[in-house]
A and B are shown apart, each in its own frame.
Chain A
């Protein structure tokens, strides 16, 4: 894979799964329904 392809793959994974992880962490922290 080219470096630019690897960078874009990382950007995609970080934004989507990073965003999901942030939301899940917030949900666990505040313990809401």
Chain B
């Protein structure tokens, strides 16, 4: 029986898991989510979600990956031959994410260069949509390839390929041991710089001043749980793959708690960084912080460049900010692609180098679509449906299967036997009741909302082609792959 690759150290594994969890969402989604949902008061449902869903789900995923020593399809097949397709669905969703996520990393790489001479000029919005993206009018009017974006995406795919082909210990672990500490240092340096700027405290007051009346609104709690799920990389095969490389006697529960706490702590630091910058911008332009606050692509590539324009030494802050985004994105991208590669390696017994080359080459070709003039529009639709439908649906299916069909007793005994602190009834109730209820509610509400109002004002045909079709297509493909005879059955490893 072959020996499965293993992490070189506990630090290496935790840094890799943290690197996977910390992504662009921590920097551009959490701060606005907190601000919109009661400011400081949002921390109460957020911490509650962290304790009742984030840590329990992470323990579950780490425990399953480590117990069955395999990627998602192998884990689900171990639970029952008929469930392998669920693992492949998670892998296909991960593959789709890896294809469009790299486009955003490409933008951050380009903007790191632009920040050196504030190339976006006095009107960052016109620059981003016009000069840089050459935005098309509709998702299917592709326009030409934007060569600077393609070059940056090539670099991002090359880094990921290099990390994965070099192996778990020499590639992924080594990359994360450099990227993650550096990311924290850069964010702390940035915070030290921006909190001293005029208006920064006003920005922080907007972020942390609590509006406790919002806690009575159920949607605030749903948003808190959603933020925890989206930011932890759970429910779509990544943490299963990473934990499958843990030694047999690893401490599952503490590693899971550590990963979740560090990820959420980083989100808080990112919130301080972003709102200090926004406060300074509001102060410089005579606006209210509420007028400049935003999230996502608009925040990162329009508002922040505009804020950087108003700062002393814009090159310093701009370069560091986009470097942070790039590092957060690259470490997450490596984990997403590894989840895909490890599944094919497990099932078909192909070498790591060959698998990584095939997956990265396929992903790279598909990424070309996102480097065109309509890249942002397609990305917007695909990302919306992947997050709101696919990831939520698959996480819900996973938790329902584990909680009500397979049962949690075995995995509970397994993690307790090898962990420093134990989990029991509370852990099972959090998964069976709290997590299922919140995921189920959010999943149904998302479907109802999207059926009622076409997302983003796009044409129904575009939404059907690029959004609604994702889940059924993934299901058919997953079923097809799961029914294929594996080369040697699933590769058995110690």
A binding-site residues for B, Cβ under 8 Å: 1-2, 4-9, 11-13, 15-17, 19-20, 23-24, 26-27, 30, 32-33
B binding-site residues for A, Cβ under 8 Å: 7, 9-10, 13, 39-41, 43, 47, 50, 201, 204-205, 207-210, 246-247, 249-251, 254-255, 257-258, 261-262, 264-265, 267-268, 272, 420-421
Known: A8-B208, A13-B265. A26 touches B40 (CB 8 A): no
Q: Which of B246, B265, B267, B420 contacts A20 (CB 8 A)?
A: B265
Q: Please give me the 7 A-B residue pairs with the lowest Cβ-Cβ distance, nearest first.
A: A8-B40, A16-B265, A20-B261, A19-B261, A5-B208, A23-B258, A5-B209
- Contact of B251 with A32 in the complex, beta carbons under 8 Å: yes
Known: A2-B209, A8-B39, A17-B265. A33 touches B257 (CB 8 A): no
Q: How far is the CB of B249 from chain A (nearest CB, A)?
A: 7
Q: Which residue of B lies closest to A17 (CB)?
A: B265
Q: Which residue of B lies closest to A6 (CB)?
A: B208
Q: Which residue of A lies closest to B419 (CB)?
A: A32
Q: Which of A12, A17, A33 contacts B43 (CB 8 A)?
A: A12
Instruction: Give bound CA distance, A17 to B264, whole Å.
Output: 8
Known: A5-B40, A30-B420, A33-B249. A15 touches B208 (CB 8 A): no
- Contact of A33 with B246 in the complex, beta carbons under 8 Å: yes
Q: How far is the CB of B18 from chain A (nearest CB, A)?
A: 10
- Contact of B254 with A26 in the complex, beta carbons under 8 Å: yes
Q: Which residues of A contact B265 (CB under 8 A)?
A: 13, 16-17, 19-20
- Contact of A26 with B208 in the complex, beta carbons under 8 Å: no
Q: How far is the CB of B213 from chain A (nearest CB, A)?
A: 13
- Contact of A23 with B261 in the complex, beta carbons under 8 Å: yes
Q: Which residues of A contact B43 (CB under 8 A)?
A: 8, 11-12, 15
Q: What are 23 A-to-B residue pairs whose CB atoms are below 8 Å?
A: A1-B204, A1-B205, A1-B208, A2-B209, A4-B209, A5-B39, A5-B205, A6-B208, A8-B41, A8-B208, A12-B40, A12-B268, A15-B47, A15-B50, A16-B261, A16-B264, A19-B257, A19-B265, A23-B258, A23-B261, A27-B10, A30-B251, A32-B254
